[in-house]
Amino acid sequence: MRKTTCTAAVATTAAALVLVPAAAASAAGGAGGTATVSVLHAVPGLTVDVYANGSELIPDFTPGTLTDPQQLPAGSYDLAVFQAGQPSTGTPAISANDVEVPAGADVTLVAHLDAQGQPKLTPFVNDTTAVPAGDARVTVRHVAAAPAVDVRAGGQPLVQDLSNPDEASAEVPAGTVSADVVATGTTNVVAGPTDLSLPAGTSTIVYAWGNPTAGGVQLAVQRIEDLGGAPGGVAAGTGGLLDEGGAPAWLVATSAGALGVAVAAGVGAAALRSRRTATVTTATGTGTGTGDRAL
């Protein structure tokens, strides 16, 4: 059975995500089945209450907190985020209407800042497909109030020109890697470095969030487990990933795209869409891609 764990590179507290009956019944009325949903609060300096379909979903939600995953009815949700303690009859700090949560999907809803520092809601669909034996999947999501960034592994570029709110993913040999985030085309570190454990058969999702001019950019980590396993005789979560020459050995095996997921706030249906926009560097070269596809 698939499991999800939630941690952060900066100390956070776990929050229980409880969908109240009114919101659940409203969503269930339009669709069958359930979806796995987690919520990340990545708006710095603001404790909030989160509402779904007019009912309180998460009270006193503090920045940097990633909820445990919950099974929620698939369907359409109107989401509203208010400053903690403020009446829900007022104007929300962030809102998104008609957010479709597909049955069977694994979704992380992120409240964050866009590149210009304005709050927004973005739902990301998590890849839960099988990971090859002995490998791990690593995904980086840019949800910080910052322009495009590069993601480095062992000081070498892995993902280049990643924009808010896009993501890039790769399947790599399991192990531990030192990762940091720099402004695109520079060596100016905006987050990290941090040692990332990448156990075999897991998907590790790293969120770069915050504001570099107000409190800095921080890293939050979400892990989805039981997507595969280690080959015989190889322990999960171990392995030397850095060659003496400094280039991470797993750069030769990367394949990636960028996933940008947009929410139409306040009007119309919010379609979950993927958009390839990042440049991913491997030992064999670099590549870019563009285009959308509805999920």
Q: Is it the case that residue 249 has pLDDT exceeding 50?
A: no
pLDDT of residue 159: 87
Closest CA to 178 of 163, 191, 188, 161: 191
Q: Is it the case that residue 245 has pLDDT exceeding 80?
A: no
| Range with the poorest average pLDDT among 14-18, 27-31, 190-194, 264-268 | 264-268
pLDDT classification of 46: cutoffs 50, 70, 90: very high
The arithmetic mean of pLDDT across residues 30-39, rounded, is 84
Overall size of the chain counted in residues: 295
pTM of the model: 0.72
Q: What is the pLDDT of residues 132-143, one digit of tens each?
A: 999 999 999 999
pLDDT of residue 147: 96
- The amino acid at 264: A
pLDDT of residue 157: 85
Q: What is the pLDDT of residues 67-98, one digit of tens each?
A: 999 999 999 999 999 999 999 999 999 999 99
Closest CA to 199 of 253, 240, 169, 236: 236
Q: What is the pLDDT of residues 98-144, one digit of tens each?
A: 998 999 999 999 999 999 999 999 999 999 999 999 999 999 999 99
Q: Is it the case that residue 262 has pLDDT exceeding 60?
A: no
Q: Is 196 exposed, middle or buried (0-12, 13-18, 19+ CB in 10 A)?
A: buried
The arithmetic mean of pLDDT across residues 162-166, rounded, is 97
